[in-house]
Chain A
Amino acid sequence: MNYKPDEAKLTSYLYGELSGEEHEKVSSYLEANPELKKELEGIQSLQKLMGKLSDKDVNEPSFVFEDSPTIVLAKNNSFNNFLKSTVAIAASISLLILVGYFTQVRVSSNDSGWQLSFGTEVQGVEVPNFNEESIKSWMKETLVANNESLVARINQMENNLDNQSAQLQATSSGVKRLANYKLDEDLIDRYVAQITRENRDIILNLMDVAGRSQKEYLDDMMTDFAKFMESQRQSDFDIIQEQLNVLVDNSEANPIDDYRNSE
């Protein structure tokens, strides 16, 4: 048998890519060559062993595209964040510069110090010198002014109090005048007489009403009592009549003669 499969053919055999006829030829050859067969079996064992080497999990990086073909690689999240924060800072600075440009912010320095101005720069602005004396004098001035205003307010309050006091005195004298006013005695007498007259009328009216009511009540009571006595008397009469009837009946049923005869 001159047939000898080459390595490529053996690979195809290992991966099952040979047609039936070729597969048989290689199988026959392997049967005749145990060493090669053992080698192939070893490779098949190796293929199973290789399965022990598994894939590692990995997170894909993000890619940031600028104008093609420039590509900025964002290697991982932290780099991505760094990129974002950098862009944010740059944008903020640009915005500040823009605002500064439109508002014409000028920062200049001279002998007296720094000067921040909007619009055109103001020249020759004199900055007062600050020293202990000047500050003390300002404080003093401020305190004096404050004291003066306080005194003025206190004086005004005193005036107000005086006014209120005067008003109170005026009111008090008015009350006294009212107390001293002498009432007209005739008016009082007339008032009392009127009240008395009214009271008398009320009492008379009350007596009249009460008398009539009492009389009606007494009449009703007497009538009721008379009716009661009449009905009581009638009832007594009825009872007596009844008893008499009974007595009459008994005497008729049991005559005295009969009784005597029997004795």
Chain B
Amino acid sequence: MHAESLLDIAMLHADTLIINAQKGEEKALNQLVSLWYKRIYNYVLKYCSDEDTAAEIAQQTFIAMFRNIKKLKDIDRFKPWLYRIATNFCYEESRKRKRNRTVSLTVTRGDDETEGTIEVGEAKGNLFNPERSFQQLEIQEILLDSLGELSEDQRTVVIMKEYEGLKFTEIAEALDASENTVKTWLYRGLKNLKDILERRNITKETVHYEL
């Protein structure tokens, strides 16, 4: 986590809060929510590209946090622990979506082929619309959508590192993987994302930003 604001600094020094929250202090629990809700919400939003789902998963994450924070033995591991809870809910949501997509295809197989295609398109991400040209799409939507095309592991690692600023050790702990594995997933994730964006003609030449 980059300490860019007072909020970030507070998050880095929330040891007392966590201890009090472990004692069941309502105020401390709610202060932890205040500190971390925006981070967790945005992390999930980048993972699932849907605001309602992100809000729902973020809330589930904090409810799970309330119920299990007493089990957290090392308060220094609070951050990866919290991201781990959120990530588990994200994976669960992905599985639900995959099941829904399979059902949709099964239902529409006998129908018009176009409808089936739309179902797949919608299931891939709410913000994705292949009929739109690049000019009509906001760069944020394209990035979100492109992230959605990555595999679960790669997407998770890319978001955790690039947007959440977690250390490799923290990501490894959150995902219960080795640091080397995390780094490999990250490299592949970034490379794939670059390829996806290039396929969509999103390069430094087409997007005006200062390099």
Interface residues of A (CB under 8 A from B): 6-12, 14-15, 17, 39, 42-43, 45-50, 52-58, 60-63, 65, 68-69, 71, 73, 75
Contact = CB atoms under 8 A, between A and B. Distances in A.
B140 A55 contact: no
Top 9 A-B pairs ranked by shortest CB distance?
A60-B37, A8-B183, A7-B187, A11-B183, A53-B143, A55-B42, A8-B180, A11-B187, A69-B67
Interface residues of B, number: 47
B107 interface: no
A60 B34 contact: yes
Contacts of A7: 183-184, 187-188
Contacts of A43: 187, 190-191, 194
B83 interface: no
15 contacts: A7-B183, A11-B186, A39-B191, A45-B203, A45-B211, A46-B193, A49-B202, A50-B143, A50-B163, A53-B139, A61-B37, A62-B30, A63-B66, A65-B26, A71-B63
Contact of B184 (A6, A15, A50): A6
Contact of B209 (A49, A57, A62, A65): A49
Contacts of A6: 184
Interface string B104-117: 00000000000000
Interface in B1-53: 24, 26, 29-30, 33-34, 37-38, 41-42, 45-46, 51
Given A46-B190, A63-B29, A52 B59 contact: no
Nearest to A57: B38
Contacts of A55: 38, 42, 163
B162 interface: yes
A61 B38 CA distance: 10
A48 B66 contact: no
Contacts of A9: 183
Q: Is the interface of B mostly helix, strand, loop or mixed?
A: helix
A71 to B, nearest CB: 5
Contacts of A68: 24, 66
B199 interface: no
A55 B34 CA distance: 16
Contact of A69 (B59, B66, B181, B188): B66
Contacts of A11: 183-184, 186-187
Contacts of B193: 46, 50
A47 B190 contact: yes
Nearest to A55: B42
A8 B140 contact: no
A47 B67 contact: no
Contacts of B66: 63, 65, 68-69, 71
A17 B161 CA distance: 14
Nearest to A12: B183
Nearest to B139: A52
A54 B140 CA distance: 8
A73 B37 CA distance: 14
A9 B63 CA distance: 38
Interface in B161-211: 161-163, 168, 179-181, 183-184, 186-188, 190-191, 193-194, 197-198, 202-204, 207, 209, 211
Contacts of B38: 55, 57-58, 60
B55 interface: yes
A65 B66 CA distance: 10
B144 to A, nearest CB: 7
B7 to A, nearest CB: 11
Nearest to A58: B41
Given A56-B42, A62-B30, A63-B30, 18 more contacts: A8-B179, A8-B187, A43-B187, A45-B194, A45-B211, A47-B190, A49-B143, A49-B204, A49-B209, A53-B140, A53-B163, A56-B41, A61-B37, A69-B66, A71-B63, A71-B66, A73-B59, A75-B59
Given A50-B162, A63-B30, A65-B26, A58 B140 contact: no
